[in-house]
Amino acid sequence: MQPWHVPARTRLLAVAPHPDDETLGCGVLLQQVLAAGGEVRILLLTDGDNNPWPQRYLERRLFIDGAARRAWGIQRREEVMQALGRLGVPAAALQPLGWRDMEVTSRLGEDMVGSVASIRAAIEAFRPSLIAVPALGDSHPDHGAAHVLSRLALAEMESAPQLLAYPIHGAAQARGYWTLPEATSEQHECKLAALAEHRTQMALSGRRMRRLADGPERYIQVAGEAANGYLPWRPPLPLQRWLRLLVATSAGVRDWPWPEAPVARDASGAWRLQRSGAGPAFVKLHLDWPSPWIFDHWGWCEV
């Protein structure tokens, strides 16, 4: 992994799908930007209100109604404010959008235009020189969808800022990631202190989250993939009748049953997306089944 140094007077916009992502993904980067005389803003997409197991555990409740869910989101919003204070980030730097937790992918499908416009408005208002977004390959569905929406927001901008992607869930082993210069002991301690402020999440996942926070922050520069149309998956035949292919471009979003999707198979067995039009295309393979497992198996790719 190559080290990457923060330029002086960087204006960093960090896109965080949930409270705690700003700390886990960018806690040291935020501090290093401020130390270099820069300015930061955190675009918080959701308040992490759909987080039932920690809520059941901490509140000793089985059923979570709408009021309890809203109260949980308020609590998590307060936690992120405390965490940012530990990182030296002013309260005014937080820009929350208040989207519903675990519904960023459905929001992408139902209101792509409005969702992209919200992110683009935040970019245009702050005018960042650097944006950090979740990695496309992150297996949490809100994270992958946040990457897609951010990329679509940037797609039609005349002068786009530098874009870095950070992995949290299941994407850290990808090649080509950079690391920041080694955090000072003070920066590392501030990151751990910020993480501790997310008390609702630390209750059941503290060991895993501390392990993530102890490692170096990883980023990959996003420049777009070669538009060859090939998909990285070879879905098994028995599942194909239940699989769906979600395709998001600047022109809109379509979600096809796999047997009806615009794909073709070549002699090697690889599948290729057949599309027209320019610009980035993001593709997600998913099963049309309800499941208690929240993470993606196939997830997103760019073609």
Do residues 139 and 146 make contact, with C-beta atoms less than 8 angstroms apart?
Answer: no
* Orientation angle between helical segments 199-214 and 66-86, nearest 10 degrees: 40
Q: How far apart are CA 102 and CA 48, in angstroms?
A: 8
Strands 218-221 and 162-166: antiparallel
Farthest CA pair distance, the chain: 57
Residues 126 and 267 in one domain: no
Which of 221, 250, 269 is the C-terminal boundary of a domain? Answer: 221
**Within this chain, do residues 46 and 179 fall inside the same structural domain, yes or no?**
yes
Domain coverage including residue 201: 2-221
Residue 270 lies in a domain: yes
Same domain, 119 and 263: no
- Domain tally for the chain? 2
pLDDT by residue, tens only, the chain of 303 residues: 566 788 899 999 999 999 999 999 999 999 999 999 999 999 999 999 999 999 999 999 999 999 999 999 999 999 999 999 999 999 999 999 999 999 999 999 999 999 999 999 999 999 999 999 999 999 999 999 999 999 999 997 888 899 999 999 985 555 668 888 889 999 999 999 999 999 999 999 999 999 999 988 999 888 765 557 899 999 989 999 999 999 999 999 999 999 999 999 999 989 999 887 778 899 999 997 888 889 999 999 998
Q: What is the pTM of this model?
A: 0.95
Together in a domain, 264 and 209: no
Is 295 among the domain residues? yes
Closest CA to 244 of 300, 299, 287: 287
Domain-embedded: residue 92: yes
d(CA 97, CA 301): 25
Report yes or no on 231 lying in a domain.
Answer: no
Closest CA to 86 of 178, 215, 217, 213: 213
